Amino acid sequence: MLLERLGPKPYIPEGDNAPFNLYPNHMNAYLKFTIQLIVLTAAIAGLAMAIQHLADPLWIHEKAFLILAFYFVLTLLTGLLALYLLEISKENSVMILLGLGVLRVTASLAFIFLILWTGVGNILWFVVDFFIIYLLYLLFDIYTFITNLRPHSE
């Protein structure tokens, strides 16, 4: 009886239009990706420092943390770009991910060329550390985008 006198139930928007939602749904994906990337980078840096102090310090090249910073920035930029492009065009998801993979490989080769051109000692450990870090970030990308593509496939 009381509810009938108050009138119809007011419309409260949900999702991206909600008045109290500080971050829209697409911002949550960007924020989640960024936080996961920061955690991964901190874990790799911690592992590298532990290996440097507990095992042979020569296993971690002097430029390993520069490589780590390069991949953090590269993965952040390509990941956010991929999330944005997947949000715009769900139909071209394969082309988007392949294109960003080519961009990642090209940027990695350019980085290797620049570091080797400026001169670096102990090239073998540089290449080993570079590809270990590359593979760890590649696994992160694969995991992130496979879990992210599930909602887009519907």
Of the listed ranges 10-19, 93-102, 122-131, 144-153, the one predicted with least confidence: 10-19
Q: What's the angle, vertex CA 41, arms to CA 138 and CA 106, rounded to 5?
A: 40
pLDDT in tens, 129-149: 899 999 999 899 888 877 766
Q: In the numeric block, which tokens belong to residue 38? A: 């920061």
**Could you give the angle at which helices 93-118 and 123-152 cross, rounded to 10 degrees?**
160
pLDDT in tens, 23-40: 455 568 888 889 999 999
What string of DSSP letters covers 102-121?
HHHHHHHHHHHHHHHHH--S
With b for 16 or more beta-carbon neighbours within 10 A and e for fewer, the 30-45 pattern comes to beebeeebeebbeebe
